[in-house]
């Protein structure tokens, strides 16, 4: 299943995250994910495994347009020049000619110039959709007056212990899709008695 962003780009509802998977292991992990049906692969410059993800893409039997690739800009890239350089490096490591979704990984003092660079890359056709990660409402309020294009996605920590109700409502009001990271709470569901009770009931 897929979800349509404000610009009509379709993003698969389920993505395979590669955080903390070393570059030497990520190719195998991604290929396995693709084999079982994943089509959205999420990586980031700071994960230092984009090259491995790129090898998996190259060695898969799938066409590029069957895949949805997300990567993220690290906070140190503060100027437009820095952003363009970082983007091209990610593109080279991933060994693809466009990114489906490019996110600013964390808010920083350079977020306005970073965002304007993302807009340039988007308008140049190098990115299908642009967004942010780990932003709160005040970050959007800082950004919006300077943005020609609003963020299409905000990837945030979201799970039963962190529901982010107010932020998700803000997203809805501004046509921003909420994307969850760590939705499975790193497997620590036993910390929630209600979920443990349900699991016990269904012997899971």
pLDDT for residue 94:
99
Comparing CA positions, the residue from 10, 2, 13 lying closest to residue 179 is 13
pTM score, whole prediction = 0.93
Give percent above pLDDT 70 in the chain.
97
Query: What residues of the chain score a pLDDT lower than 50?
Result: none
Q: What CATH fold (topology level) applies to the domain 2-201?
A: TIM Barrel (3.20.20)
Angle, alpha carbons 37-39-43 (nearest 5°): 125
Reading the block at residue 12, the tokens are 């698969």
Tens digit of each residue's pLDDT (9 = 90 or more) over 6-40:
999 999 999 999 999 999 999 999 999 999 999 99
Confidence (pLDDT) at 62: 98
Q: What is the pLDDT of residue 189?
A: 66
pLDDT of amino acid 200: 78
Beta bridge partners of 68: 40
In the chain, what's the furthest Cα-to-Cα distance? 56
pLDDT of residue 190: 66
Residue among 169, 174, 128, 127 nearest 150 (CA): 174
Query: Which candidate, 2, 86, 12, 14, places its Cα nearest to that of 50?
Result: 86
Q: What's residue 57's pLDDT? A: 98
pLDDT at 199: 76
Domain boundaries, the chain: 2-201
- From 174, 171, 141, select the one nearest 154 (Cα to Cα): 171
Q: Which residues are catalytic?
A: 47
């Amino acid at each position: 299943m897929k979800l349509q962003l404000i610009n009509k780009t379709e993003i698969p509802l389920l993505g395979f995250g590669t955080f903390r998977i070393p570059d030497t292991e990520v190719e195998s992990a991604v290929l396995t994910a693709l084999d079982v049906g994943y089509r959205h692969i999420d990586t980031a410059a700071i994960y230092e495994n984009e090259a491995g993800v790129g090898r998996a893409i190259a060695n898969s039997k799938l066409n590029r347009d069957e895949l949805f690739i997300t990567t993220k800009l690290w906070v140190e890239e503060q100027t437009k020049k820095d952003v363009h350089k970082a983007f091209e490096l990610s593109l080279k490591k991933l060994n693809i000619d466009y990114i489906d979704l490019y996110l600013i990984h964390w808010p920083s003092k350079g977020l306005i110039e970073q965002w304007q660079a993302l807009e340039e890359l988007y308008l140049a056709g190098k990115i299908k959709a642009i967004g942010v990660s780990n932003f709160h409402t005040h970050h959007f309020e800082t950004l919006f007056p300077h943005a020609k294009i609003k963020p299409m996605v905000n990837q945030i920590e979201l799970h039963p212990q962190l529901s982010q109700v107010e932020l998700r409502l803000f997203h809805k009001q501004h046509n921003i899709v909420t994307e969850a990271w760590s939705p499975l709470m790193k497997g620590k569901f036993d910390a929630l008695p209600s979920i443990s009770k349900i699991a016990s009931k269904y012997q899971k």
